Structure 1
Amino acid sequence: MGSMMSWPVTRRSAIALGAILATSGGTLLAGCSPKGTAPTGDDASNTDGTSRNGDVPAQGTPADPMTTRIDSTLSALTLEQKINQLFFLEPESIFPASPVVSAGDASRRALTEHPVGGICYFGQNLRGPDQTRTMLSSIRQYSQDAVGLPPFISVDEEGGTVSRIGGKGSFNIPNVGDMRDVGASGDTHQAFEVSQTMAKYLVELGFNLDFAPVADVVNGSSQTMARRSFGTDAQAVAQMVEAAVRGFTEGGILCCAKHFPGIGSAEGDPEVEPISTQKTMEQLQAEELLPFRSAIAAGVPFVMVGHLACPRLTGDDTPASLSRAIQTDILRAQLGFEGIIITDSLKMGAIGDRYNATELGVKALEAGADMLLMTPDFSASYEGVLSAVRDGTLGEERIDDSLRRIIKAKLRLMDASA
């Protein structure tokens, strides 16, 4: 196993990760049964000899080496370390600086105490290529030392209006432009190329996950997502999203389709207010869900669930990020997604003003989320989940299911660097 300090900056490691992600019919962490069909018989187990419910060996099938490694890694974690792995924070929520632009002994101590599963960096944290590489390399090593696993190191690099690297500061990297323009070209190869381009420069800087592509269809009057989305036609957007996932994958980086089940037609901005849709399941199946189906078919490893309320599906105004009907019944069972479900930022006005930090994490995990993105108060959310597991409100088996998916992805990253 190679040094964790070197994997993100070599062309070889990028190619290796792309090859791993592209195996087994285009799936690594994600996969789908025939749509609307529950797996039966031989189909009830994955190609790696594990069952579909959290990588537990299927009856009568011996565990393969990856399952053994996952179980071994999981059993070595304390309960506190397990719960930390479920959190995905911005650096200022865990490291003692604002803004965080370096990583030293204080960062090492913080990750030893709270070895969180992922860290998402923003423009204020990224001053230039050398500073970014050095900071991220140190963070990887500190996490590896703490729990034997790298963290997911992410950024929102969509292109256009949401770009932390391209066109910014001293990186000397051009912005690839709005995805609206890519979609308008009608050329799926362009979607592939811009995604691969972003993947390559992010990998060179030390990132292993990009929170892109946007899979929302802008099919209503709201223009909140207009420049970030590939367009207004669901079929065309689906083709672009599939090409983008392939581009990120071949560029050597994990990616994330967002914002399930699709917020392109919702009125308002979830950054500041609750959003909802009155669409039925049939309407969502015909449009909003198509790009996510395509992303899953292409092997997308992460899906980000938005804060959209879908009362005609759930019967109430519970946001999708906290809804079992949306995450478990639709995304997992109906669409067959087996990768990592992550919430959108739990600091957003669409949700953060309606629930307290202590309950947010528990509700999201009960709904089916695997990772909790940027809670409004990490300490309160962490203690809330820890207490819920200790008192039996949230079963440890439930969080172990999520951890198996998380650990599997991280072991694959480590294998790609070997």
Structure 2
Amino acid sequence: MNVKDKTYRELGKLIVISGTMVGILLLNSSLIWAATKSTENVASEEDVLSAMTLEEKVAQMFFVTPEALTGAAFVTEAGEITEERFSEYPVGGIIYFTENIVSREQVSTMLNRMQEISKDRIGLPIFLGIDEEGGRVSRLYESSINGIPYVQDMYTIGTSGDSGQAYQTGKIIGRYMKELNFNVDFAPVADIFSNPANTVIGNRAFGNDPEAVSEMVAMMVQGLQKEGIFATLKHFPGHGDTLEDSHSGYANCRKNMEELKECELQPFDAGISAGASFVMAGHISLPEILGDQTPASLSHEIISGVLREEMGFEGVIITDALNMGAISENYSSDEAVVRAVEAGVDMLLMPMNFVTDYHALVNAVCEGRISEERINESVRRIIRIKNEL
């Protein structure tokens, strides 16, 4: 081997070694970027949280009607009054009803403006929700908007035995909700219609067989969320085996925990596995489990113990409407809100007296009844889901 050949050979080794080093450096850089990317959302959650006052964090835990926010009789736009009130009370979500909906352009504009107001004020989007189950609970179909497709009741879909229909139902509802700028559907109903005397659920449920209902619920969750709409499983831990209606007073489920696990809890478990972002805590009393008529929505044992710890739900837990009789007939408005948060709830839907209840929750933190870290836990979950919008 002459000197020239040796030089080329050594040069080749150098190139290979250099290339290897560059590859290692590039690989390490990629790993560092990937690690940074994977923690980016976590960091942003903490950044957003740390920039918020206690009052702003508490406001994010409320999901109210536009009338409760503004004090107006009927709200059909997000104007100056809405902006002024939101500046003072930057709530986490607004729920709309048929009376808020006049036309396709009107509701789309109202919701789009509401998003702008929220992002400008708090740096976060806002949850914009509605009850759109299909069947007899369909606020948009019942409104004056033309072209909203009719979706049959869930019991009829359930009796078909075809879970693909539940998936398509979720997609249909999700598609027209998304077009109107909604992002949260208070559906699907995950209750099992196990008591024929039950009047409040009835054909809103997919049926009376736990396995079949579970499959339908999971598929509807996937359909909704495929269209960019956050699904809400309701009414945990199950309203289908009650004789009473929680809208008017205590609604009792007489089952023990083993019986709940064998029946009522199965569709919720399936919906959670399917990726549901919200679970709605119903005002269902469980005297065989809790020993009294405390609604599940106010029970630490049921919300934190069963739903959060045993079932592993990591999304947002929201109460059913707090102006319903099961709450309003038995608890003061402010006490109900505080007890729900103590139980482990993240968001408070339609409290009886929003402003009073908001201040009651702030005061509960200032007085040490609830820790600020407990508030932070809920707001982190809220921010995490909002980061997906």
What TM-score results when the alignment is normalised by the length of structure 2? 0.89
Counterpart mapping for 1:343-358 below 5 A: 343-358=319-334
Deviation, 1:177, is: 1.3
Report if the CA contact (8 A) 1:96-1:106 is conserved. no
In structure 2, which of residues 239, 244, 247 is the aligned counterpart of residue 268 of structure 1?
244
In structure 1, which of residues 237, 259, 268 is the aligned counterpart of residue 235 of structure 2?
259
Q: After the TM superposition, which of the residue ranges 165-174 and 151-160 deviates more from structure 2?
A: 165-174
Distance in 2 (alpha carbons) for counterparts of 1:358 and 1:230 = 35
In structure 1, which of residues 120, 129, 138 is the aligned counterpart of residue 113 of structure 2?
138
Report if the CA contact (8 A) 1:346-1:373 is conserved. yes
Per-residue CA distance 1:85-112 (angstroms, 9 max, x = gap): 0000011101142110111111111111
In structure 2, the residue corresponding to 1:392 is in which secondary structure? coil
Deviation, 1:171, is: 2.8
In structure 2, the residue matched to 1:194 is 169
Counterpart mapping for 1:8-407 below 5 A: 64-220=39-195, 221-407=197-383
Deviation, 1:352, is: 1.2
Q: After the TM superposition, which of the residue ranges 349-358 and 280-289 deviates more from structure 2?
A: 349-358
The number of equivalent residue pairs is: 355
Distance in 2 (alpha carbons) for counterparts of 1:355 and 1:321 = 12
The structure with higher relative contact order (CA 8 Å, sep 6+) is 1
Q: Which has the larger helix fraction?
A: 2
Distance in 2 (alpha carbons) for counterparts of 1:181 and 1:73 = 44
Residue identity opposite 2:168 in structure 1: E
In structure 2, the residue corresponding to 1:203 is in which secondary structure? helix
Report if the CA contact (8 A) 1:152-1:209 is conserved. yes
Distance in 1 (alpha carbons) for counterparts of 2:188 and 2:300 = 24
Report if the CA contact (8 A) 2:98-2:142 is conserved. no
Distance in 2 (alpha carbons) for counterparts of 1:167 and 1:63 = 43
Distance in 2 (alpha carbons) for counterparts of 1:188 and 1:167 = 25
In structure 1, the residue matched to 2:26 is none
Report if the CA contact (8 A) 2:218-2:270 is conserved. yes
Deviation, 1:297, is: 0.6
Residue identity opposite 1:400 in structure 2: N
Deviation, 1:62, is: 11
Distance in 2 (alpha carbons) for counterparts of 1:165 and 1:394 = 38
Which 5+ residue runs of structure 1 have no aligned equivalent?
1-47, 50-60, 414-418
Per-residue CA distance 1:198-224 (angstroms, 9 max, x = gap): 000000001010000000001013132
Label 1:148 to 1:62 Cα distance change in 2 as closer, same or farther (>3 A): closer
In structure 1, the residue matched to 2:18 is none
Deviation, 1:75, is: 0.5
Residue identity opposite 1:150 in structure 2: P
Distance in 2 (alpha carbons) for counterparts of 1:347 and 1:168 = 23
In structure 1, the residue corresponding to 2:204 is in which secondary structure? coil
Q: After the TM superposition, which of the residue ranges 94-103 and 258-267 deviates more from structure 2?
A: 94-103
Per-residue CA distance 1:334-365 (angstroms, 9 max, x = gap): 11101000000000011111111121111000
Distance in 1 (alpha carbons) for counterparts of 2:128 and 2:105 = 16
Deviation, 1:294, is: 0.2
Residue identity opposite 1:88 in structure 2: F
Report if the CA contact (8 A) 1:302-1:339 is conserved. yes
Deviation, 1:167, is: 4.8
Report if the CA contact (8 A) 2:250-2:293 is conserved. no
Report if the CA contact (8 A) 1:159-1:179 is conserved. yes
Report if the CA contact (8 A) 1:128-1:170 is conserved. yes
Distance in 2 (alpha carbons) for counterparts of 1:276 and 1:291 = 19
Distance in 2 (alpha carbons) for counterparts of 1:93 and 1:62 = 39
What TM-score results when the alignment is normalised by the length of structure 1? 0.83
Report if the CA contact (8 A) 1:167-1:174 is conserved. no
Moved over 2 A (4+): none
- Indicate the RMSD between aligned Cα atoms, in angstroms: 1.5
In structure 1, the residue matched to 2:14 is none
Report if the CA contact (8 A) 1:154-1:211 is conserved. yes
Deviation, 1:273, is: 1.6
In structure 2, the residue matched to 1:412 is 388
In structure 2, the residue corresponding to 1:230 is in which secondary structure? coil
